[in-house]
Amino acid sequence: MDEPIQVSDAEAKVMAVLWTRAPQSASEVIDALTEATGWNHRTIRTLLARLAAKGAVTTTPRGRAYLYSPVLTREEYVRVESRGFLERVFRGNPLSAVAHFVEDESLSPGELARLRKLIDRKEEEES
């Protein structure tokens, strides 16, 4: 199995722009991120180059520029980050994580009902 693509927090901000709409030119990504982050265009171009080198995005030539499209999906990113978070914070124990959020966070009746449905569905799948 291939190693999952790891992206930094800064690279994730670039990916978020591309997950919203793709393909985009570097200029479009720069326009989307400059005001929100305060980063200069060189920083954003460097992040795009790193993402391309990691295989998280593809580049397609368009004239003298390139269009960037995500290869790494948002779902894959969330899966990798969730596993990392679970390992770092809860020593890899999903029960500890769920128990923490159920006990320490305010969940609405609807959220609790959804959680019950998820657990019921998982039990059905496992049996």
Predicted confidence at residue 39, as pLDDT, reads 97
d(CA 81, CA 78): 5
pTM of the model: 0.83
Give per-residue pLDDT as tens, 70-105: 999 999 999 999 999 999 999 999 999 999 988 988
Predicted confidence at residue 2, as pLDDT, reads 75
Q: Which parts of the chain register pLDDT below 70?
A: 1
